[in-house]
Structure 1
Amino acid sequence: MPIGRPRIPGTEEERAGARRAKVRANVQAFRRRQREKKLAKDAVIRQTNEFDSDVVLEAETNRQPEPESPVTLPFESDPRDDAFVVSKDGEPWLWAIPSELGAKLNGTTYQDALIKALQDRYLPSQTNLPRIQYEPKKRFSICCSTWITSTTLDMGKPECKVLMQALLAASLAIIGRERKDEEMTLHAAYVQTEALQKLRFALTKYSEGDRSICPTMLSLTSLTCAMSELIANQSWDNFNRHLLGVGALLFHGGPEGLSSESAQEHFYGYRVTQAPFLFMNRQRAFLSNPEWLEFPWKKDLELAQRPLHTMLDIAFTILPEIVKQDMPKRWSLSCLQGRLERAKRVAHELTEWEDDLRSQHRGVLYKQRPATWGGLDDYCFEFPLLSTGVAFSMYTAVRVHVAALMAAVVNDILIRDPNADVERKPAVLEALRWSRLACQCLEFFHKGQVEFAGRIVTLWPLETAWEFFMRSQADGVLNVSREVAWCRGIAEKLSNMGIPPFQWR
């Protein structure tokens, strides 16, 4: 029997070529590791000179006429002036990010100030900016989809420096990807990692009872890190993990922690962004607990009375039942009937919510116009207001979940009692109807002046309808091959526009 390593097949010349290729690959890998070590070392040296916010504020106060910036963040801009045209030079994903990521410092988008500062710090070709004295407190706002939250920055506090570092990481990631600059991307990863380490340390101290740490500042940092995951890795899963960290901070503070109007608005904004992930992943959350749905100050908060939030108040009451459906437990017949009644009650409340919304619009909630995204329906929906379109689109996703839950519970009842007085088909057809309505909502957010709407809003109805179609096809209940093909086609269309779906099916 031959001893030793088996010879690579081929001629001697081919084997020699394979050896040379392997040596070249090893050398290139070694040089890449050395370069990464050098970049990390240089970044550590730079860290000895703490990033001062006076550089940021100097850029704000001495700002000259706007130079051409590597990135455009259309925060609070006129939709007619911002058509979100895909950049010819950068990757399509980048232009989807501004609708999820925008921050304001002292009245202008943070990119102008921070990019100048980070170019001074990370680009050798830039000259040092003169430093000036800065005011210790500035107002800071950040936007994620329909969620806008803000706080007052205390420049001397450590958690403020962590937030600024997280913002730098996001800016570096955007510039690195747009310019295809490997060194800038490596810097972004390094700064992001360091920000996460400091954030974990601050979170640990806060959980141990250190109340000198501002939880809102930690929450904003977690939100910034979540959006950095979208920029750097296009990862919705990691985005959701950071969102859950924001939720953990809110839960730790308890309902009594929502004593100020800004904290209340922060909570409601977080809830809207988190809701799609909780329903998609069938994940239990404190948001369904009664104490997080009914607050003594709720009637006095205008935001809480808006249609989107009143609809979510109803939706979160059914989330625990949706979570239970995936539990490997043998439910008793009486328990299943009780769950079915709860689902019917929520469906009735949702219908009443829709009727109320229609009455606010004098019975005309949307108009139909010819669809350009053909293949499923001849018409798509045109909403009178963007807020109405957002609320109704998320509503259709909730209705699909509720109808699918009812169909699943009825199926379990019939397994245990084939003679039970229930039918599965009506619930399945109801889920099908709402899934098709969800699909008709999508085009509104990507045509004309409203295509700046939050991408999470547009993706949740697509994901919910797509999941229902796939399950129905797998079960052989409905012939929905055309619907499945349409959802995949739209997902590919959106992905080419820079908006990858939550999941590929």
Structure 2
Amino acid sequence: MSRHPLHQMLDIAFKLLPELVEYQGYLSPSRKSASPPAKWATKETQSRIQHLQKVEEQQSARERLRRLRAIASELDHWEADFRVQQQQRYGGLHHRQEAEWAGLYEYSFGFTSLPAATAYTMYAAIRIRLAEAIYTSLCICNKGDSLLGIINSRPPLSRNGSAPNVNVLAATQSTSDAMMFLMTAEIAPPPLASSSSSSFSSPQTEKMDALLQGLRWARQSLQSLEFFHTGSLKDCGWVATLFAFDSAWSFVNNRRELDGHVDLSRERIWCQDTARRFEALQIPLFGWR
């Protein structure tokens, strides 16, 4: 890693741009669906055409999912090398420090260097966008499957750790259950396996895994922001802040699939308070949510 770690990471992340364009196009309200069969076609022909259109859309989504997982694998390798480098040079990537921006977490990340802080914060934002794109592709590949079906089959887990012990949970239920506990009871859980190496065979479980990956990185992103706006002045703080904050705020605000199962109310309130703080500092926001 002779170059700035951010540059190396962005070399990989740029591969995600066309996928995000396609992802945003799919979510757009103005998105045009496939042309309906001609009115003169028989019902059997119309049904066949609609089936072929659905198959084509799913094949396209599966190919996009393959590309997204390849990008995730490359980013996983970058992160592993990055952490080794930071450990060798500075004794680690960051340390915990008491949060000055109250209302969410007890601590924030005190990074060991500004280049590392910039690279990691941007990286967290990219992982959020990647997780959302993977989730959407999985939904297209498995239309008709309900994510809520698998979540609703077990009781909600609280933020304060009142759920069963994670070791018991992991031993008696699925790996996904253990991940759900980690995501609700821990602030910065250990890294989860990437989607590219996932052994889950259930489409519903894969979709939940993608959402939990996004949630993990959203929380990592929020814990990184304070570093750029407290203590000594950081020249690149605004750039890293804008993309990372918008990505995390968008995720916790829009991922309503998790409502009732993961309590994100504090994150949403904190993001609004932080947005007001940024406006007071004349830091332009991508948008108000």
What is the alpha-carbon distance in structure 1 between the residues aligned to residue 145 and residue 221 of structure 2?
33
- Is residue 409 from structure 1 mapped to residue 192 from structure 2 by the alignment? no
What's the offset of the Cα at 1:501?
1.7
**What corresponds to 2:59 in structure 1?**
334
Instruction: Work out the CA distance in 1 between the residues paired with 2:258 and 2:218.
Output: 17
Q: Is the 8 A contact 1:472 1:478 kept in 2?
A: no
Task: Say if 2:268 is the partner of 1:484.
Answer: yes
1:493 paired to 2:218: no
1:197-253 superposed Cα distances (whole Å, 9 cap, x missing partner): xxxxxxxxxxxxxxxxxxxxxxxxxxxxxxxxxxxxxxxxxxxxxxxxxxxxxxxxx
Q: CA deviation at 1:325?
A: 1.5
Residue in 1 that maps onto 2:37 = none
Instruction: Give the equivalent residue in structure 2 for 1:426.
Output: 209
How far apart in 2 are the matches of 1:456 and 1:473?
Answer: 28
- Give, in whole Å, the separation in 1 of the partners of 2:117 and 2:97: 14
Distance 1:500 1:337, change over 3 A: same
**Counterpart residue type for residue 317 of structure 1:** K
Equivalent positions of 1:206-221 (< 5 A) are none
How far did residue 459 of structure 1 move? 1.5
Number of residue pairs aligned between Structure 1 and Structure 2 = 203
Q: Is 1:325–2:23 an aligned residue pair?
A: yes
- Within a 5 Å distance, the mapping from 1:169-180 to structure 2 comes to none
CA distance in 1, matches of 2:120, 2:253: 23
CA RMSD of aligned residues (A): 2.4
Asked if 1:391 is matched to 2:119, the reply is yes
Q: Shift of residue 318 of structure 1?
A: 1.4
Q: 1:421 & 1:473 partners in 2: Cα distance? A: 21
Q: 1:499 is paired with a residue of what secondary structure? A: coil
1:472 and 1:480 in contact (8 A); partners too: no
For 1:499 and 1:317, locate their aligned partners in 2 and report how far apart those are by CA, in whole Å.
Answer: 28
1:480 to partner: Cα distance:
1.7
Match of 1:368?
96
Aligned to 2:108: 380
Structure 1 unaligned regions, length at least 5: 1-298
CA shift at 1:478, angstroms?
4.8
> What residue is the counterpart of 1:439 in the other structure?
222
1:502 aligns with 2:227: no
2:122/2:240 contact within 8 Å kept = yes
Alignment of 1:55-454 (within 5 A): 305-327=3-25, 328=31, 332-362=57-87, 364-415=92-143, 421-422=202-203, 423-454=206-237
Tell me the secondary structure at the aligned position of residue 325 of structure 1.
Answer: helix
- Cα 1:430/1:381, change in 2 over 3 Å: same
Distance 1:417 1:431, change over 3 A: closer
Q: In the TM superposition, what whole-angstrom CA distance separates every residue of 1:30-70 from its partner, at most 9, and x where no partner exists?
A: xxxxxxxxxxxxxxxxxxxxxxxxxxxxxxxxxxxxxxxxx
**Rg comparison, structure with higher value:** 1
Shift in alpha-carbon separation, 1:407–1:474, aligned structure 2, 3 A: closer
Q: CA deviation at 1:475?
A: 7.7
Residue matched to 2:39: none
| Conservation of the 8 A alpha-carbon contact between 1:473 and 1:481 | no
Question: Which of 239, 259, 270 is the aligned partner of 1:456?
Answer: 239
Alpha-carbon offset, residue 414 of structure 1: 2.0
Deviation at 1:469, TM superposition (A): 1.2
TM-score by length of 1: 0.38
* SS of residue matched to 1:377: coil
Amino acid at match of 1:466: W
Q: Whose relative contact order is higher, 1 or 2, with alpha carbons under 8 Å and at least 6 apart?
A: 2
Question: Per-residue deviation at 1:432?
Answer: 0.5
Q: For the residues of structure 1 that align with 2:258 and 2:17, how far apart are their CA atoms?
A: 23
How does the TM-score come out when normalised to structure 2?
0.65
The percent identity for this pair of structures is 36
Amino acid at match of 1:306: H
Unaligned runs of 5+ residues in structure 2 are: 26-30, 35-55, 147-200
Q: Which amino acid aligns with 1:360?
A: Q
Q: CA deviation at 1:417?
A: 6.7
Secondary structure of the residue aligned to 2:256 is helix
Looking at structure 1, the residues matched to 16 and 98 of structure 2 have their Cα atoms a distance apart, in angstroms, of 35
Distance 1:496 1:332 in 2: 45
